[in-house]
Amino acid sequence: MITVAKNAGFCFGVRRATDKVEELIRNKSNGDIICTLGKLIHNEQYNKFLEDNGVSVLDVDGIDELLEKAKNGTKVTVVIRTHGIEYDIQKKLESCTEATENFSLVDCTCPYVKKIHKIASENSSKEETFILIGQEQHPEVKSIMSYVNHNGHVFSSSSELETYLKNNDLSNFRVNMAAQTTQKLTEWEKSEKILKKYCTNGKIFGTICSVTEKRQTEAMELSQQCDLMLVIGGRDSSNTAKLTQVCKSYCPNTHWVETAGNIMLDKIGHANNIGITAGASTPDSIIQEVKEIMENLNENFAQLLEEEYAKKAKIYVGATVTGTVMAISENEISLDLGDKLTGVITRDQITDSNDVKLSTLFKIGDEVEASVMSKSDVDGIAILSKKKVDIVKNWQKIVDYNANGDVVSAKITKATKGGLIATIDGVEVFIPASMTGVDKDGNMEELVNTTQEVKVVEIKEDRRRAIASIKAVIREKKAAEKEAFWASIEEGMVFEGPVKSLTSYGAFVDLGGVDGLVHITELSWKRLKHPNEVVKVGDVIKVFVKSFDKEANRISLGHKTDDENPWNIFMSKYAVGDVASVKVVGVTTFGAFAEIVPGVDGLIHISQIANKKIDSVANVLKVGDVVDAQVTGIDEEKQKVSLSIRALLEEEAVEETTEEAVEETTETTDAE
């Protein structure tokens, strides 16, 4: 039994766009220009139909050239696809339409997307943070984020969202969240729960297209009832990718195909219950063609499978064949292809290196896969290319790396104005400057000829172009390090780290990817006006954890220790009755304050300054004077010290009186 999902294929927005473009084609006059800003939909077959009917694909750089043609009399029509476009480009096109009679704009942006544009604009003030759950490089997401006024972030998954909310304090912002129209429903529901967990003052906008929701729900239900699911749609279609994920969750025998011609009959096997669904950009004609193929397959599976194998076994130009190495020379290898046919692969169709010996790459008896470039049945020779097969295989690796989110090694070969050129498994990829991890004013040349860990973040199948990111790997590593840090942190733990920044209230110290704050009162036992009195940015200092709050991403640190406590130092050196050399640091009407040790002052009361009554402290002592004083009192609880100069003066007077008495006694004795 074959069941086609009711909501498979064109959604309202896509059908509206295709109907409008087809109407433009019907009314097109010779010389008129019709173009779409980017490919109209994610379906190569339909886009080829548009191309064959004179509809070209325009990029942003070509707008000015079209405007000139319109000014010179050519009728130009520009169509905006359902994904929408960035705000500034939209405004530029609108101004072109207003200023030039022959230049017209047809806006086919999906109403659901338009709605999110408005939400993004109205919910991203200075006091708000706007979050979008979607694929950052998707055209729809780029158009939405261009309407954000201040703070905006894109997260591809609920786990990315949770990591961000854990590690950032958004208590001063109202957090508002929406979703890409084709976002996977289950992932969006997880994101809603996470936002509610961390933010209580935000807004959640349900912006997944209702058709998308129905399509995903229907696919989920259908895949649970089938032993084979076919998901039809372009390879760069976001909603088709999500449909495939949904179906695979319930039916492992799920296959993503673009057309009926992509169905691998030898891999899908025979199935009793077959389900078919399709992405929003899949024409009805392709869905019907796939259905007919599967109906025929059910009727005569064995015969079709045999024909498929026979087709693959046939050797023709463009076919991929496998042969056994039977000879190796300096510049070519020969393969036995069977059926009295020899395949020849020259060095230039094996490798770009002139230094490597073919005998080190192959040995007699090896099986080699290659593409047929030409064939002579008369001579029994087929000229083959191993490179072409390798390119396809290696490109598929790149596609798989992107799909799986793998971290892979890339050799950086060149720096350009816009970023870096690198190779992954022999395939050239581009790393934009913003994804290199190099600061805006940094030197990207330093990365040339190095090997870097990257993630493939975007695939452009039509041009076999891949975008990679070093920054994505760095970001994930930092997130993992932070998780490990928070899992191990305890109060009292000691760290050594550099001072990253100073504020009026303290110093932030890097503990290894996570910053902690040493409050100004914890930097020194002295009273400080600013932290720069004791530390500067870059200083490596020892700190210990006083307290931490993982949810708020806050760590309070201590730096000063009891060993450095001035009061402890004082108590270890002095006791009541001891004499100290002290420095006057303040003069008042009732006495003078004098520093005994750095950080501990004692009071010399006015009555203890001299052995006679004085009218003013300032007449006897001034700031900066160094005098000897006796410790006459210590209040340990209040950490106060009393000092006396007078006590020392009275001792001197007693000593002098004693000496005079001794002298008088001696004189009397001598006289007698």
Q: What's the pLDDT tens digit per position in 505-560?
A: 999 999 987 899 999 988 888 788 999 988 999 999 989 999 998 888 899 998 87
551 and 583 co-located in one domain: no
Q: What is the pLDDT of residue 311?
A: 46
pLDDT band at 265; cut points 50, 70, 90? low
Domain endpoint, select from 152, 186, 208: 208
555 and 504 co-located in one domain: yes
Q: Residue 493: which domain range? A: 489-560
DSSP 207-243: -S-HHHHHHHHHHHHHHTT-SEEEEE--TT-HHHHHH
- 302 within some domain: no
- 352 within some domain: yes
518 and 602 co-located in one domain: no
Give the CA dihedral 44, 46, 48, 51, nearest 10 degrees. Answer: -130
183 and 129 co-located in one domain: yes
191 and 131 co-located in one domain: yes
Condensed to tens digits (0 to 9), the pLDDT of residues 554-575 reads 999 988 776 778 888 889 899 9
Domain endpoint, select from 165, 181, 208: 208
**Residue 3, SS3 per DSSP:** strand
∠ CA 156-157-163, rounded to 5°: 105
Q: What is the pLDDT of residue 668?
A: 47
Q: What is the pLDDT of residue 314?
A: 65
CA distance 125 to 545: 36
- 157 within some domain: yes
Q: What is the pLDDT of residue 300?
A: 55
Segment 313-320 mean pLDDT: 76
- 628 within some domain: yes
Segment 586-599 mean pLDDT: 92
Q: What CATH number corresponds to the domain at position 352?
A: 2.40.50.140
495 and 574 co-located in one domain: no
582 and 527 co-located in one domain: no
Residue 289 has pLDDT above 70, yes or no: yes
What DSSP designation does 521 have? H
Q: What is the pLDDT of residue 312?
A: 43
CA distance 44 to 281: 10
Please list, in sequence order, all residues whose beta carbon lies within 8 angstroms of the beta carbon of residue 442, skipping any fewer than 6 positions away.
none
Name the residue with tokens 């074959």.
Answer: 2
574 and 547 co-located in one domain: no
Most confident of 410-414, 459-463, 596-600: 410-414
531 and 585 co-located in one domain: no
- 383 within some domain: yes
pLDDT band at 266; cut points 50, 70, 90? low
Q: What is the pLDDT of residue 257?
A: 87
∠ CA 116-121-122, rounded to 5°: 100
- 568 CB-contact burial (10 Å; exposed 0-12 / middle 13-18 / buried 19+): middle
- 271 within some domain: no
Domain endpoint, select from 560, 591, 611: 560
Condensed to tens digits (0 to 9), the pLDDT of residues 57-111 reads 988 888 888 999 999 889 999 999 889 999 999 999 999 999 898 999 999 998 8
Q: What CATH number corresponds to the domain at position 190?
A: 3.40.1010.20
The dihedral through the CA atoms of 324, 327, 333, 339 has a sign that is negative
CA distance 438 to 99: 42
Number of domains present in the structure of the chain: 4
pLDDT band at 284; cut points 50, 70, 90? confident
545 and 613 co-located in one domain: no
Calculate what percentage of the chain has a pLDDT beyond 90: 44
Condensed to tens digits (0 to 9), the pLDDT of residues 350-371 reads 887 778 899 999 999 999 999 9
List the end-to-end C-alpha distance of the chain, in Å, as a whole number.
148
CA distance 344 to 371: 11
Segment 472-495 mean pLDDT: 87
Q: What is the pLDDT of residue 653?
A: 64
124 and 195 co-located in one domain: yes
Q: What is the pLDDT of residue 298?
A: 59
295 or 225: which leads in pLDDT: 225
Average pLDDT, the chain: 86
- The catalytic residues are 140
Residue 449 has pLDDT above 50, yes or no: yes
- 289 within some domain: no
196 and 121 co-located in one domain: yes
Q: What is the pLDDT of residue 44?
A: 82
CA distance 97 to 79: 12
- 670 within some domain: no
Condensed to tens digits (0 to 9), the pLDDT of residues 612-628 reads 889 899 999 999 999 99
| Token output for 104 | 């017209």
φ/ψ of residue 100, rounded to 5: -125, 125
